[in-house]
Amino acid sequence: MKIDKIKQIANLARIKFSNDELKVLTKELSSIFDYIDQLKEIDIKDIEPFVHAVGLKNITRKDEVKSCDIDLVNLAPEKKNKLIKTKPIFND
Amino acid sequence: MIKKIQFELGKEYSCKELTKKYLDKKDNLNAFITRREDCLKQAEEIDKKIKKGEKLKGLMGIPIAIKDNILVKGTKCTAGSKILDNYIAPYNAHVIEKLKGAVIIGKTNMDEFAHGSSGEHSAYGNTKNPHNLEYVPGGSSSGSAASVAADLTVCALGSDTAGSVRQPSSFCGVVGLKPTYGAVSRYGLMSMVCSLDQIGPIAKNVEDVEIVFNTIKGKDERDSTSLDYKLEDNKKEFVIGIPEDLIKDIDKEIKNVFDYSIKKLEDKGIRFKNIKMDNLKYGIPCYYIITPAEISANLARYDGVRFGMSAKRDDILSNYFETRGQYLGQEAKRRIMIGTHVLSSGYYDAYYLRAQKVRAKIVQDFKNAFKEVDLIFTPTSPFLPFKIGEKIKDPVSMYLADLLTVPANLAGIPAISLPAGEHKGLPVGVQFMAPVMKEQRLFNIGKIFEQC
């Protein structure tokens, strides 16, 4: 893996790294992917991917409006009245 | 121990006295992140009930410690991360509701977001192994296992995604259970890998683990993957399989204890048989694709907007980048990076889809094996507890700690770790795995093993 690739992944992951951290990560992720790549030696032809351990199928519930007495808004770093406050997500 | 305490409560000591005894014990292992002094009020309530002549059921009156990724309403819940340093749990996890009457004495230290096998990835300092303070207690439920082993609590809850209940139980010389996937509701457990996470009990003996498991298990509408099933198993004679291939490279000290354990069980009339399970050795590379993938999605919620710490920057993007850069730990960031890559455009088939197919092959290995044998037996860890700092700089060598425990998570089956011996004062554990929903078989064999 090259450092530019690591920078691209960090951008997708929304994490700020220092240059030193990026160098260490480049080395570490390379060795981790070398290790993971042993999966390529397994024959997976005609194998259906794993879905669920006990074989549960989709479980649905009614889409109902219920009241909630848990105060989640209060945990937000910034709030205004009963709303979570955030920075603008669209440019002008 | 639980039954003995409940028998003695109200006769030899009050619940308040018992609770105070545990709260007053010095935590020289850094096993707790939070100790709940206010639980003495809970203990007083129990004492009132005892005075009224109420019979103690389940875990009533028993001091218990809870891993810090499980929500206890009104108590700080960090998951070992700085990003949740200011987070007070707004509701109770399902297991906490089930534990009603037990006295929650504290929240235990852990690898950040349960990423790790040594306890060293906690933002609140590493936990020490009570058998030797220079050694790691295992992880990620490091504080839960260490606190049980040092009798800082009677029992504890941990969570197990690749061995995080069993491996620290093995390193600390206590009993730990990873239940069937779905046996225990995950509602209120901070998600790491939704398709693998299970809450499991840690205690000093099999009977106590069984009591805790029976208290917390069951269907919960808020976790659609949770299950209801009857625990029964009438098997009296066991044929136990040993996946020879998987354990061929384990350390000599572990092999010695393992071989001796087999001999002791053979003397009790239990038969052993070598079984071929060729795909289990791919458990770790498979895990290190599925896990980071799910982590990168699950940890996206730590964005500095909705809850937890925030860098409070003026524009939304810098706020994301700085919050996550500043407050997430090294291993969490590393796994988010791996996961982001394997799920990114053009890589899904090569990594995630391939891993889920390999996982299907591992599940098939177990299905075939359980046609021939009733249980599968291995050591819990391929090596002894290691020194603090020994593996921290080499992620891949740390990941190998899960070699023998991760297959049970990938297949969703239950597994138990039991203390089996020691080498130079460091505990060695062994593991039994059973088919899905056959926890009872694990308790039965566990009790036989304890008497060997």
Chain A touched by B133 (CB under 8 Å): no
B67 classed as catalytic: yes
DSSP B177: E
Q: Which helix (H) or strand (E) holds B410?
A: helix B406-411
Beta strands of B102-147 (E only): which ranges? 103-108
Going by C-alpha positions, the residue among B160, B106, B107 that lies closest to residue B138 is B160
**Which of B227, B318, B354, B367 is the best residue to mutate to test the A interface, defined by the most A CB atoms within 10 Å of its own CB?**
B354
User: Does the distance separating the beta carbons of A25 and B412 come in below 8 Å?
Assistant: no
Residue of B107, B109, B99 whose CA lies nearest to B42: B99
Sign of the alpha-carbon torsion through B446, B447, B450, B451 = negative
Answer whether residue A71 shows pLDDT above 90: no
Spatial CB neighbours of B126, under 8 Å, sequence gap ≥ 6 = B30, B109, B118, B119, B120, B136, B142, B388
Calpha distance B354→B286 (Å, rounded): 8
Dist CA B336 CA B295 (whole Å)? 6
Scanning every residue of chain A, which has its alpha carbon at the shortest distance from the alpha carbon of B322? A16
Residue B186 burial by Cβ neighbours in a 10 Å radius (0-12, 13-18, 19+): buried
Closest to B211 in 3D by CA, of B362, B349, B5: B5
Q: Residues B421, B261: contact at Cβ < 8 Å?
A: yes
Helix B283-298, helix B330-343: angle, nearest 10? 100
User: In angstroms, what CA-CA distances link B282 with A42, A91, B278?
Assistant: 9, 47, 9
Helix extents (H) in B239-379: 252-267, 283-298, 316-327, 330-343, 354-372
Q: What is the residue-wise DSSP string for B62-90? A: -EEEEETTB--TTSB--TT-GGGTT-B-S
User: Which element (helix H / strand E) includes B272?
Assistant: strand B271-275
Candidates B87, B316, B326; nearest CB to A86: B316
Looking at residue A51, its pLDDT comes to 83
Question: pLDDT tens digits for B41-97?
Answer: 999 999 999 999 999 999 999 999 999 999 999 999 999 999 999 999 999 999 999
pTM over 0.95: yes
Q: Which residue on chain A is closest to B435 by alpha carbon?
A: A54
Please provide residue A50's backbone torsions phi and psi, each rounded to the nearest 5 degrees. Answer: -60, 140
Q: ∠ at Cα B7 (B2, B12), nearest 5°?
A: 110
CB B89 within 8 A of CB B33: no
- Contacts for B302 with CB less than 8 Å, ≥ 6 apart: B81, B83, B84, B308, B323, B324, B327, B328
Q: Which residues pair with B30 in a beta bridge?
A: none
Residues of B in contact with A72 (CB under 8 A): 90, 306-307
Compute the distance between CA of residue B51 and CA of residue B188 in angstroms, rounded to an integer: 33
Output the six-digit token pair for B243.
Answer: 């996946």
Name which of A11, A14, A28 to mutate to probe chain B: the one with the most chain B Cβ atoms within 10 A of its Cβ.
Answer: A14
What number of CA atoms fall less than 13 Å from residue B109's CA on the CB side? 30
Query: Which chain A residues are within 8 Å of B294, Cβ to Cβ?
Result: none
What is the Cβ-side half-sphere exposure of residue B6, based on CA atoms within 13 angstroms? 19
Q: Which residue in B131, B197, B215 sits closest to B168, CA to CA?
A: B131
Kind of pairing, strands B375-379 and B271-275?
A: unpaired
What kind and span of H or E run contains A80?
strand A79-80
- Whose tokens are 């219920």? That residue is A66
Q: How confident is the model at residue A82 (pLDDT cuts 50, 70, 90)?
A: confident
Radius of gyration of chain B (CA): 21
Write down the pLDDT at residue A59: 86
Domains and CATH numbers, chain A: 3-41 (1.10.20.60)
Interface of B with A in 310-339 (CB under 8 A): 310, 312-317, 319-322, 324-326, 328, 333-334, 336-338
Contacts of B309 (CB under 8 A, 6+ apart): A77, B82, B83, B84, B85, B86, B323, B326, B327
Residue type, B194: C
Where residue A92 falls among pLDDT bands split at 50, 70, 90? Answer: low
- For chain B, which residues score pLDDT lower than 50? none
Confidence of residue A60 (pLDDT cuts 50, 70, 90): confident
Nearest-Cα residue of chain B relative to residue A87: B316
The rounded distance, in Å, linking the Cα atoms of B350 and B422 is: 42
Residue A61 C-alpha, separation from nearest chain B C-alpha, in angstroms: 9
Q: How many CB atoms lie within 10 A of CB B298?
A: 18
Q: For residue B274, give both structure tokens.
A: 């070598």
Omega before B164 within 30 of 0, i.e. cis: no
Determine whether B140 is an active site residue.
Answer: yes
Residue-level pLDDT at B375: 98
CA distance B273 to chain A (A): 25
Enumerate the β-bridge partners of residue B139.
Answer: none
Tell me what pLDDT residue B105 has.
98
The token duo for B378 is 């291995």
**Cβ–Cβ under 8 Å, residues B174 and B207:** no
Residue B62: CB atoms within 10 A of its CB come to 30
